[in-house]
Amino acid sequence: MVEPKGEYTFGQVGIGQAKRSVMAVSHADLRAYWTQTWGQKYFAVNKDLVHRGVKIIRIFLADRVQLLDAVDIMRQQQEAGIQVLVAVTDEVPKELREDYLVQDDEVLVRVELTREGLERIELISVKPTDVRNALSRFQQLCSLSITLDEFTVQTTCSIA
């Protein structure tokens, strides 16, 4: 258990060591996280990983308004080679609404959020049962997610 963005955070250094895969759910306040310096540096490490051949799947999980506000962020990640999926919070069971990543099927990094969607504490685990459970939840969330292109078309059609 460590402080997010603190001295012992998994963050940029930890994820930079990925060799095969990163499966992540971004459920923190999307604009607040990805547009600040920390989020931009983290994204730069993600781009380097993709160039090294690491497969990254990121599910952006938020309410529809916040997702619409973050389409540019999601598009930027998709263009960098990250597989981007979208899940609307109220269409997902509560037990799947969390912010975490699983790296190389070996490390789980889960972030507990404040009510406002900001990072409160980071929990890091290499326990096989924790990792397996997170992978199972990730697969469940994948099945409830749509691609970014489907989300933008769906949203455009509902606005029109």
CATH number at residue 106: 3.30.870.10
Residue 4 belongs to some domain of the structure: no
Residue 2 belongs to some domain of the structure: no
Owning domain of residue 96 = 11-159
Residue 62 belongs to some domain of the structure: yes
Residue 134 belongs to some domain of the structure: yes
How many domains is the chain partitioned into structurally? 1
Residue 35 belongs to some domain of the structure: yes
Per residue in 39-65, pLDDT (tens digit) is 899 999 999 999 999 999 999 999 999
Residue 112 belongs to some domain of the structure: yes
Q: Is there a contact between 141 and 61 (Cβ–Cβ < 8 Å)? A: yes
Per residue in 64-106, pLDDT (tens digit) is 999 999 999 999 999 999 999 999 999 999 999 999 999 999 9
Task: Tokens for 143, please give them.
Answer: 């099945």
- Cβ neighbours for 6, distance < 8 A, ≥ 6 positions apart: none
